[in-house]
Amino acid sequence: MLERRRTRQVTVGSVAVGGDAPVTVQSMTTTKTADVEGTLAQIYALAANGADIVRCTCNDEAAAEGLAQIVPRSPVPVVADIHFRHELALAAMEAGVHALRLNPGNIRKPAHIKLVAREAKARGLPIRIGVNAGSLDPEMARRHGGATPEALVASAMHELGLFREVGFEDVKISVKASDVRLMIDAYRLLAETTDHPLHLGVTEAGPLPQGLIKSVAGIGTLLAEGIGDTIRFSLTADPVEEAKAGRTLLEVLGLRERKGLDLVACPSCGRAEVDVIRVAAEAQAALEARNIPLQVAVMGCVVNGPGEAREADLGIAAGRGKGHLFVRGRVVRVVPEDEMVTALVEEAERVLAEGADARIAAADADAEAIAAATRDELLQIQGNDANRAAERISRIRRIAQP
């Protein structure tokens, strides 16, 4: 487990953020908030795919009225996203939202910011100060030479100072940028400046795959350093992809317990005895459809497959027209190649129901022997030295001789 930076804690509805609480996943609806049923359908889809908190825009009166109907029916806490008009922040709180997100570059008047903070304090609601490089207060940009880490952090701290003037400290902070290096540097500086919980994100990351890569680079780097209490992938895609990506990142970093499938597959090579790309895709689709929360391996050959993927809960490796099914590195069944995916799914369900030890104990008596014989046969055909190192060394010695 990564050692996380210690922060104070806030509570968004029933979800704790910061302190010793798990890192949470957020996303934002793309529907018109006034479309109550459409927005709720999207919120439920996001919650089903790993979102702990969902943000909805509150950009007009109709949106605020929609929130009043959405919040009581939402399966997760709802945050109202506010730009420009402080009146809408007040309306969103009246609608019953669990938190607000304010952009200090958009709501400029201190009196309006303080009014919102007072009302949030009275209702016990947290606020996220959401600074974006693209909407930075022009005065902050001028003072700090543009959208620099110093400018982003100064903007956040200025807003925090206004909150503190009215005794409001129930705050999360984000300093997002579309430039990954700027985003990382800004959050590092912010983490040194305050102990408030931090919301991580690369803003306007873009469509897949670029947006996903940028987000993982920025958010993953900071999480690996122990920085970050809640995250959002800002993708130009179905927001469900944001929730899935965020949840997966936390799981692979060991910051959240695995709830979904973790498919491990070799990249394929000349040793592969099967179309690994096809089998892996079929296995992923079948296992995800059954919501299998295991680490499952699909390996192209039995020579190295079970050994290389021995840490997986289970897996399958191809060899001479057969699939060698293994649980924690132990071959338990050998099936025809065309039954590999079906057998893998069946075994996954059994591992979930009975446990890995029970499945190993129930292994076919001859499974390990068949696998060993197949490995020996393939080694005779392919050779142990797949990279021809011995041949290369022999040539090098001849070349290097004086």
* pLDDT-derived band at 327, boundaries 50, 70, 90: very high
Q: Please, where in the chain does CATH 3.30.413.10 lie? A: 262-382
Closest CA to 73 of 51, 42, 40: 40
pLDDT for position 392: 73
* pLDDT-derived band at 119, boundaries 50, 70, 90: very high
Asked if the model's pLDDT at residue 231 lies above 90, the reply is yes
pTM of the model: 0.84
Measured distance CA(204)–CA(158) in Å, rounded: 24
Tell me the pLDDT tens digit for each residue of 337-381: 899 999 999 999 999 999 999 999 999 888 888 878 877 777 776
Q: What is the mean pLDDT of the chain?
A: 91
CATH class belonging to 262-382: alpha beta
Q: Please, where in the chain does CATH 3.20.20.20 lie? A: 9-252
pLDDT for position 40: 97
- Report the Cα–Cα distance between both ends of the chain, in Å, rounded: 54
Percent of the chain predicted with pLDDT > 90: 70
* DSSP secondary structure of 208-251: TTHHHHHHIIIIIHHHHTT--SEEE--BSS-HHHHHHHHHHHHH
Tell me the pLDDT tens digit for each residue of 270-315: 666 678 889 899 999 999 899 889 999 998 877 766 777 788 899 9
Tell me the pLDDT tens digit for each residue of 65-82: 999 999 999 999 999 999
pLDDT for position 384: 54
Asked if the model's pLDDT at residue 202 lies above 90, the reply is yes
The mean per-residue pLDDT over the stretch 15-41 comes to 97
pLDDT higher for 312 or 197?
Answer: 197
pLDDT higher for 180 or 391?
Answer: 180
* pLDDT-derived band at 390, boundaries 50, 70, 90: low
Going by their DSSP bridges, the two strands 322-327 and 330-336 should be labelled as antiparallel
Number of helical H runs and strand E runs in the chain: 16, 15
pLDDT for position 271: 64
pLDDT for position 95: 98
**Which residue's structure tokens are 């359908």?**
41
Residue type, 268: S
pLDDT for position 381: 66
CATH of 9-252, one of 3.40.980.10, 3.30.1330.40, 3.20.20.20, 3.60.21.10: 3.20.20.20
Asked if the model's pLDDT at residue 105 lies above 60, the reply is yes
Within a 10 A sphere around the Cβ of 359, how many other Cβ atoms? 22
